[in-house]
Structure 1
Amino acid sequence: MDLLLPFLDISEPDGQQFQVELEKDMVTIGRFEQFNDIALSPDPQQLITRKVHCTLEHNLYGWWVVDNGSINRTFVRCGNDVQVVQGRALLSEGDSIRILGKLSETSEPGYWELTFSDPLGTRPSGPPLQVAYLEYDWIQARLYRIEGSKQQEIHELRPQEHKLVRYMAQRNQTNGHVPVMCSYEELLAAVWGEDAYHTEGDINHLIWELRKKLEPDPKAPRFLETVRGLGYRLVTSPRAKEGA
């Protein structure tokens, strides 16, 4: 039976193959099954990020692969051309995502190949629309919400909120200005350092208080996104310019 949903044909470094349908608009890919929708295992050399090496994300203009600031990077092969993903890359029919999964004794790399296919996908009819995003002024330590030509400052941020925003904005900046999923562990360390008395619940509370200041509807966040069970992403780049 023909597949109605987009899918990935996945080849392991040792040549084994399997197929995965993309049933959600955001699919996480990484080493551990408990943290990801698609687990690339076994990975005995620990070359793949355990919590979200990269994500696949769908919008009106197609499917994108988004590197999550991984150490060993994410690549896309289009025909014979292989390019490192600089933040995010739009996928076309037959493109392959490549993730390093093995190094031989002579340092020859072996890759996971995830070949994308969406033959029944809807094609965009025009250019992307303008969307809103956040911008952080590092020198003045000010946070702004940008919507088209309008700029609005988010006032009265608490010190903990500033620490959280600065850390998440920095992670995005080092990832080509593309939003990175920040784990609970990262955020706890960024906000409270080695203070062991704070928990994931404290991060959730801090996120909720911040959403009430920067989101038009805190229950439907656009700027401070949840990655269920793993952490959060702060939208600090004009993704409309890239089709997001």
Structure 2
Amino acid sequence: MDILLPFLNIVGPDGRQFQMDLEKDTVTIGRFDQFNDIALSPDPQQLITRKVHCTLEHGLYGWWIVDNGSVNRTFVLCGNDVQVVQGRTLSEGESIRILGKLSETGKPGYWELTFSDPLGTRPSGPPLQVAYLEYDWIQARLYRIEGPRRQEIRELRPQEHKLIRYMEQRNWANGNVPVMCSYEELLAAVWGEEAYHTEGDDNHLIWELRKKLEPDPKAPRFLETVRGLGYRLITAPRAKEEA
């Protein structure tokens, strides 16, 4: 049968091999299958993030690999060149590398996930202008950037400022690459030790904020949902030159 979908050939540090078709536009990769589309297990040394070590995301101009602020990072092997992922496109034959084992002498062993998309659609022109948010910490102002346009988002509530500040700080610590923030993280960031708040409060706050941020709140571009896990704020351009 012809291979119609893009796929990953996956080889573990102990030689385990399998293949995964990329059937969705967002594919999460991590340690546990309860939280991820692709589970890299076993991982007895707990080197891989439990919830979303990294994600593969499909857009108009190909596939992106995005590290989700993981402790041990995500790498891409292109020929003999190994690069730390800070949000980059993934090309045919390149391999994602994720630390999966350390020997007694400290020698690393990696999971290698080699990307292939032989029938992928080729772009006919340059990518679209990048849209993202910018937060001014000193003046506590939020701006929406779309190409040359810069528009201030006004009348934010205190809880919305707390959420934006926390998510922007996570992105900044990850090299200005957007990070998925879990429901638990956002509850703590916005309401602190007020234990009576729930995931529903997160969802309500996100919806109210989307109505201010998004041209279409039902099709969010700036405050994205990561299915079943949390949310991600787009506060820096993802588009970078390919290595």
TM above 0.5: yes
- In the alignment, residue 183 of structure 2 is paired with which amino acid? Y
The 5-angstrom pairing of residues 130-209 of structure 1 reads 130-209=129-208
**Pairwise CA distance, 1:125:** 1.8
**Pairwise CA distance, 1:90:** 1.4
Q: Does 1:116 align with 2:115?
A: yes
**Pairwise CA distance, 1:177:** 1.2
The 5-angstrom pairing of residues 18-37 of structure 1 reads 18-37=18-37
Q: Secondary structure at the match of 1:90?
A: strand
Q: Secondary structure at the match of 2:34?
A: helix
The 5-angstrom pairing of residues 11-160 of structure 1 reads 11-85=11-85, 87-160=86-159
Give the Cα–Cα distance (whole angstroms) in 2 for the partners of residues 239 and 94 of structure 1: 21
Q: Percent identity?
A: 86
Q: Secondary structure at the match of 1:106?
A: coil
Aligned to 2:227: 228
**Pairwise CA distance, 1:72:** 0.1
> CA 1:83–1:238 in 2, change beyond 3 Å: closer, same or farther?
closer
Give the Cα–Cα distance (whole angstroms) in 1 for the partners of residues 13 and 63 of structure 2: 24
Runs (5+) with no aligned partner, structure 1: none
Number of positions where the alignment pairs a residue of Structure 1 with one of Structure 2: 242
- In the alignment, residue 64 of structure 1 is paired with which amino acid? W
Preserved CA contact (<8 Å) 1:128 1:241: no
After superposition, the C-alpha distances for 1:81-133 in whole angstroms (9 at most, x for unaligned) are 11111x21211111100000011111111100000000110111221111321
Give the Cα–Cα distance (whole angstroms) in 1 for the partners of residues 73 and 239 of structure 2: 23
Give the Cα–Cα distance (whole angstroms) in 1 for the partners of residues 110 and 42 of structure 2: 12
Runs (5+) with no aligned partner, structure 2: none
Q: Secondary structure at the match of 2:152?
A: strand
Give the Cα–Cα distance (whole angstroms) in 2 for the partners of residues 103 and 238 of structure 1: 34
Give the Cα–Cα distance (whole angstroms) in 1 for the partners of residues 22 and 241 of structure 2: 22
Give the Cα–Cα distance (whole angstroms) in 1 for the partners of residues 108 and 65 of structure 2: 21
**Pairwise CA distance, 1:152:** 1.2
The RMSD of aligned alpha carbons is 1.2
TM-score after normalising by structure 2: 0.96
TM-score after normalising by structure 1: 0.96
**Pairwise CA distance, 1:2:** 2.5
